Amino acid sequence: MRDTRESRLLLVLLIAIAFALITVDIRGGQDSPVQGARQAAAAVFGPIENGVSSAVDPVGNAVAAVRDSDSRHDRIAQLEHDNTALKAKLGSDDRNRSRLNQLDKMLKMAGAGQYGIKGAEVIAIGAAQGFSWTVTIDVGSNDGIQRDMTVLNGDGLVGRVTTVGPDTATVLLANDPDFTVGTRMESSDELGFASGQGDRPLRVEMLNGKAKIKKGDRLVTFGSQADKPFVPGVPVGVVSRVDPSGGDLTRTIYVTPYVAFSKLDIVGVVVEAPRKDPRDTVLPAKPKPTPTPTVTVTVTPSASEPVTGQTP
């Protein structure tokens, strides 16, 4: 089209009409006079838009999938982290429950024997070469611990304190060959001296060579002068074997200790001895014997066999 005066007037007129239609459409809203025209345009161009959208959507979905995949990966990683933390917490809770049970058992024993104890944790073990059995505990002189104090746990006699530092102490275990403790037999009051043998039962020399002792009898500590290094009444172990006396002045027996020396964790140092000997009150209750079932066998004679006293 040539640039003439008529063409310029036509352009101005079209622009004026366009502004007028925009103004009417904005003010009319849903009742706009051009709503029908817009719907007609949508009917014409809608299928084309849908086709373009269908072509573009897979790409958009793929991008969203990649974005969501990262999100899912992060979520899975977080869940795995949470599960690991939960398992660790459950494991820690199991350990804490075990230690609480040990502490509760030890406190009950201390209460039964009226021992004043200082609770401690085993933090190190000594070298076992040459039958040296020791552990290090996390209490020392700052906690009132002194040399030659009795050490026990919820099962029985653990050992005695040999070396004391400000915050730690060394305990010689009752199964060490250099360890000796006076013992008293339950009920009969027969006295002896128990010595450690490493991972074997304690060896006990009974003062009375004619003492009547049997497997299953139990021993406690006899106690020392001024209660050091041993307080009385602490469970030591159960007789597992008795050697024949052979007419000797003493008699040797072997005792399985109550304490598992390879699994020590929570222990107690006796910082205050009982006012009186607890005797056998600290010993655990004896296990009830399992009843032996009685079987009655009834024999029925066979029909083919003759009955006694009758002639076939």
Confidence grade of residue 7 (pLDDT, cut at 50, 70, 90): low
Residue 211 pLDDT: 87
Contacts of residue 249, defined as CB under 8 A and 6 or more positions apart, other chains included, come to 209
Q: Which amino acid is at 231?
A: V
CB contact at 8 A, 216 and 241 = no
**Domain contains 199:** yes
**Domain contains 246:** yes
Whole-prediction pTM value?
0.64
Confidence grade of residue 21 (pLDDT, cut at 50, 70, 90): low
Whole-angstrom Cα distance, residue 264 to residue 172? Answer: 13
Residue 178 pLDDT: 93
Sign of CA dihedral 100, 105, 106, 110: positive
Confidence grade of residue 249 (pLDDT, cut at 50, 70, 90): confident
**Domain contains 197:** yes
List the one residue out of 215, 209, 288 whose CA is nearest residue 255: 215
**Domain contains 41:** no
The tally of domains found in the chain comes to: 1
Q: DSSP assignment of 144-210, as one string?
A: T--TT-EEE-SSSEEEEEEEE-SS-EEEEETTSTT-EEEEEETTT--EEEEEEETTEEEEEEES-TT
Q: What is the mean pLDDT of residues 127-152?
A: 86
Residue 120 pLDDT: 92
- Find how far residue 153's CA is from the centre of its chain: 18
List the one residue out of 216, 197, 195 whose CA is nearest residue 206: 195
The three-state secondary structure class of 76 is helix
Q: Where do we find the tokens 């933090």?
A: 123
Q: Domain containing 155: what range?
A: 103-272
Q: Which two tokens stand for residue 264?
A: 């020590």
Confidence grade of residue 251 (pLDDT, cut at 50, 70, 90): confident
**Domain contains 243:** yes
Q: Is the pLDDT of residue 95 over 90?
A: no
How large a percentage of the chain has pLDDT more than 70?
60
Residue 73 pLDDT: 62
pLDDT in tens, 169-214: 999 999 999 999 999 999 899 999 999 999 999 999 999 988 889 9
Q: Where do we find the tokens 């006396």?
A: 245
CB contact at 8 A, 209 and 251 = yes
**Domain contains 302:** no
**Domain contains 249:** yes
**Domain contains 305:** no
Task: Give the ranges where the chain is alpha helix by DSSP (H).
Answer: 5-28, 35-113
What's 145's domain CATH number? Answer: 2.40.10.340
Residue 215 DSSP symbol? T
Q: Is the pLDDT of residue 129 over 70?
A: no
List the one residue out of 213, 207, 194 whose CA is nearest residue 248: 207
